[in-house]
Amino acid sequence: MSSFIRIFCVFTVCLLTASCGRMVKEEAYLDAESTPKLKPAEDQDLPRTSNNLSIPEVTASGSNVSPDSKPPEMAFARKRSEDENVVIIESQGMPTIEIFNEKDAWDLMTGDHGYNWLLLDEDKENCQATFRFYDPITEEVESKNFLKRLFSINSNYVDRSGDYLLTCLKLPQKQQIWLQTTDFQAPSSYVVDDLFTHIFEAATTE
């Protein structure tokens, strides 16, 4: 019985193999032939058959190739006292302190603003005072050894040290103090916050 089963299995396998070979030989694609390449019409381009996008040419070089990696300048801190008599705002593009109490703007301008600020010149008649700011972060960076500066994120820190101009305006209902560079540009928010913190505290202290 087992011999019959083996013979039957061998016969079945041979039959299937012959059928498969006949099926493959009869596939239509075996008779297919390559068609001639397309030829463009006169003064015409062939259609694009690839989905690949062309790489645009780069005309910039050096630092212009990559976008600016520096973070955007942060806005200076706006403040408002509890009684709303002293506020820090932006007025005409400049950081400004508005004072509605009895504190004198000139005294606030020429007061002690901390170790980092040095009074260079004062013009009371025009209510202007010139200060020099010494950036403390620059001192910290310079105090590090070479290896620490080499691998520090502050190695490219922009020194904010320089001369700044404080100007005040006394109006019937309020006084204004604003800060700008000596070439009349808006200063860094870091510089504004450092100075205005002292003036704001002096203006709100009884």
152-184, pLDDT tens digit by residue? 554 567 889 999 999 999 999 999 999 999 999
Tokens of 171: 């109006």
Whether residue 63 has pLDDT greater than 60: no
Counting residues of the chain whose pLDDT is more than 70, the rounded percentage is 60
- Mean pLDDT over 12-17 rounds to 64
DSSP lists the bridge partners of residue 133 as 117, 162
Q: Per residue in 66-79, pLDDT tens?
A: 555 555 566 888 98
Whether residue 95 has pLDDT greater than 70: yes
Architecture of the CATH domain 79-204 = 2-Layer Sandwich (3.30)
- Cα 192 to Cα 11, 58, 64, 127, 186, distances in angstroms: 97, 40, 31, 19, 9
Query: What is residue 16's predicted lDDT score, i.e. its pLDDT?
Result: 59
More confident residue, 32 or 66: 32
Amino acid 33 reads E
Q: Which of 114, 113, 103, 108 is nearest to 167 (CA)?
A: 108
Counting residues of the chain whose pLDDT is more than 90, the rounded percentage is 47
Query: What is residue 136's predicted lDDT score, i.e. its pLDDT?
Result: 87
What lies within 8 Å, CB to CB, of 58 at 6+ separation is 65
Query: What is residue 37's predicted lDDT score, i.e. its pLDDT?
Result: 72
Whether residue 192 has pLDDT greater than 90: yes
Query: What is residue 51's predicted lDDT score, i.e. its pLDDT?
Result: 59
**Res. 59 pLDDT band, cuts 50 70 90:** low
Query: What is residue 24's predicted lDDT score, i.e. its pLDDT?
Result: 47
pTM for this one? Answer: 0.59
Burial of 114-127, coded b for 16+ CB within 10 Å and e otherwise, reads: eebbeeeebeeeeb
Whether residue 202 has pLDDT greater than 70: yes
- Cα 64 to Cα 14, 67, 116, 157, 158, distances in angstroms: 73, 7, 36, 20, 20
- What is the Cα–Cα distance from 101 to 175, expressed in whole angstroms? 9
Domain residues of the chain, as ranges?
79-204
Q: Per residue in 105-145, pLDDT tens?
A: 999 999 999 999 999 999 999 999 999 999 988 777 666 65
